[in-house]
Amino acid sequence: LEVIGAVEPRVAEATRQELADQRSSLKLIASENYASPAVLLTMGTWFSDKYAEGTVGHRFYAGCQNVDTVEALAAEHARELFGAEYAYAQPHSGIDANLVAFWSILAHRVEAPALEKLGAKNVNELTEADWESLRHDLGNQRLLGMSLDAGGHLTHGFRPNISGKMFHQQQYGTDPATGLLDYDVVAAKAREFKPLVLVAGYSAYPRRVDFAKMREIADEVGATLMVDMAHFAGLVAGKVFTGDEDPVPHAHIVTTTTHKSLRGPRGGLVLATEEYAPSVDRGCPMVLGGPLSHVMAAKAVALAEARQPEFRTYAQDVADNAKSLAEGFLTRDATLVTGGTDNHIVLLDVSSFGLTGRQAESALLEAGVVTNRNSVPSDANGAWYTSGIRFGTPALTTRGFGATEFDRVAELVVEVLRNTEPTTTSKGEPSKASYKLADGVADRVRAASAEM
Ligand code: PLP
């Protein structure tokens, strides 16, 4: 910080403050974690200064021998850890990994057969008319993914996102009565819509998914099964999700972030079968710019950590702790979407406290409990104010919290929410954003969490 402060003291101060804040609050954002010092330090090296477009051993720049070493290591660790046929370590983030996956599916299933039919090696050899026809076909494919309010991600075909614009899209939700995925409904939609891509995976669904069933559905309609395991990659790596709950043996392509439950640097990763490997390998420069060499090095370190036996214990603790947190809420009469959890996410419906997600998120933050508001299925308050709060256990499990601490977390959260009231707008109506937390509660909760 001294070195940074000598150049821009305000950055040094914000960095110091960020550490203090992360240490003094309860980090319950389901997509966050605490990466190890080895991972953090690897990101801060001179690999950041190196350009390396292309792939290992096949770069558009000279002098990439050391980047080759770390990228190959990241891919090797990923293949071994997840049992994948092929791994691509370049995506800068989870969204980039999904874009690589989409374009590689289009390249493999639409572009390659068209080129073969026309006897061309690549698109540069096409006539203007053939090129226009191929561009038309690439832009007219279908994608079926989980809807945002059911727990899917923006990139799974949400209309405002590029995935909802580059594909004709439809979405599947969850059963309104149980909040659970209904595979018969997904299958019926797939039969009717006949997507090229079936996306499975989630950001806010507190349950496991049967990927064998998803693959059956994809096979029946001729779709490519793409699983986005950004959230639960750590549970797959730690062998908490095995068999039908492990996406890798079932999906054609699996994408992930590396910074959530996997506890690595911010970044993305694509795993694929041999069949899709050549098109994924063209991610840079087809979709991505030059890879972040320092982050690929840190991915190699994090994936090496995730191959250690301790990571399995960690992953099991993440899942067990989520159950303790859910139990803690249920015994205090709170309402949970799907009635519980069997992964690392707990989704609390805060409407029973008379609050919107926005009010609950702000009141909790005031008390040092860091969460994010989240839609619940068919949310009456929409995607901005929402009716839910999403909790995740990966970060506090890294800090060593166990069942007792997570029960106490539930107690403190409920104490905050019970003591929060919406304030009224100038028209005398209840506000969806402003709130009043009763005096003394924030200090009491902060003091209690400092002792944990
Ligand atoms: N996919 C899923 C399921 C996610 O939950 C997220 C992040 O929230 C992403 C992709 C995007 O990851 P990133 O923010 O690294 O682009």
Q: What is the pLDDT of residues 160-215, one digit of tens each?
A: 999 999 999 999 999 999 999 999 999 999 999 999 999 999 999 999 999 999 99
C-alpha 70/C-alpha 294 separation (Å) is: 9
Residue 429 confidence (pLDDT)? 85
Count the neighbouring beta carbons within 10 Å of the beta carbon of residue 308: 10
Q: In this structure, what token pair is assigned to residue 105? A: 């599916």
Q: Which amino acid is at 385?
A: Y
**256: three-class secondary structure by DSSP:** strand
51 among known catalytic residues: yes
pLDDT tens digits, 308-342:
999 999 999 999 999 999 999 999 999 999 999 99
Region label for 151, one of left (φ > 0), alpha (ψ between -120 and 50) or beta (otherwise): left
**94: three-class secondary structure by DSSP:** helix
* Average pLDDT score, the chain: 97
Asked if residue 267 lies in contact with residue 255, where contact means CB atoms within 8 angstroms, the answer is no
Residue 235 confidence (pLDDT)? 98
341 among known catalytic residues: no
Count the neighbouring beta carbons within 10 Å of the beta carbon of residue 313: 11
Q: Whose CA is nearest to atom 14 of ligand 1?
A: 94
Q: Region 86-115: what's the mean pLDDT?
A: 98
207 among known catalytic residues: no
Count the neighbouring beta carbons within 10 Å of the beta carbon of residue 383: 15
Q: Is the pLDDT of residue 123 over 90?
A: yes
> What phi and psi, each to the nearest 5 degrees, are found at residue 160?
-65, -20
Task: Name the residue among 34, 19, 33, 27 with its Cα closest to residue 406.
Answer: 27
Residue 168 confidence (pLDDT)? 98
- Which residue numbers belong to the known binding site? 148, 152-154, 274
Omega before 195 cis (within 30°)? no
Q: Is 315's C-beta closer than 6 angstroms to any atom of ligand 1?
A: no
C-alpha 411/C-alpha 347 separation (Å) is: 16
C-alpha 61/C-alpha 284 separation (Å) is: 13
Q: Is 420's C-beta closer than 6 angstroms to any atom of ligand 1?
A: no
Residue 428 confidence (pLDDT)? 85
Residue 378 confidence (pLDDT)? 86
Q: Is 174's C-beta closer than 6 angstroms to any atom of ligand 1?
A: no
Asked if residue 389 lies in contact with residue 364, where contact means CB atoms within 8 angstroms, the answer is yes
Q: Which residues contact 252 (CB under 8 A, 6 or more apart)?
A: 105, 218, 224, 225, 226, 272, 273, 275, 276
Residues 388, 355, 404, CA angle at the centre, nearest 5°?
60
Residue 5 confidence (pLDDT)? 97
Whole-structure pTM value: 0.97
Q: Region 271-277: what's the mean pLDDT?
A: 98
Binned at pLDDT 50, 70 and 90, residue 99 comes out as: very high
Instruction: Write out the DSSP string of 289-332.
Output: -S--HHHHHHHHHHHHHHTSHHHHHHHHHHHHHHHHHHHHHHTT
**406: three-class secondary structure by DSSP:** helix
Binned at pLDDT 50, 70 and 90, residue 425 comes out as: confident
Residue 430 confidence (pLDDT)? 84
Residue tagged active-site, from 59, 142, 215, 260: 260
Q: Are strands 369-370 and 26-27 parallel, antiparallel or unpaired?
A: parallel
Q: Which atom of ligand 1 is nearest to the CA of 152?
A: 3
Residues 228, 231, 233, CA angle at the centre, nearest 5°?
80
* ipTM of the modeled complex: 0.99
Q: In this structure, what token pair is assigned to residue 176? A: 């309104």
Distances 268 to 73, 87, 409, 445 between C-alpha atoms, Å? 15, 11, 31, 36
**5: three-class secondary structure by DSSP:** helix
Q: Is the pLDDT of residue 427 over 90?
A: no
Q: Region 107-134: what's the mean pLDDT?
A: 97
pLDDT tens digits, 10-56:
999 999 999 999 999 999 999 999 999 999 999 999 999 999 999 99
Residue 359 confidence (pLDDT)? 98
Torsion angle (degrees, nearest 10) of CA 437, 370, 385, 260:
-170
Q: Which residues contact 446 (CB under 8 A, 6 or more apart)?
A: 24, 367, 368
pLDDT tens digits, 370-389:
999 999 988 999 989 999 99
Q: Is the pLDDT of residue 220 over 90?
A: yes
Q: Which amino acid is at 268?
A: G
Share of the chain above pLDDT 90, in %: 97
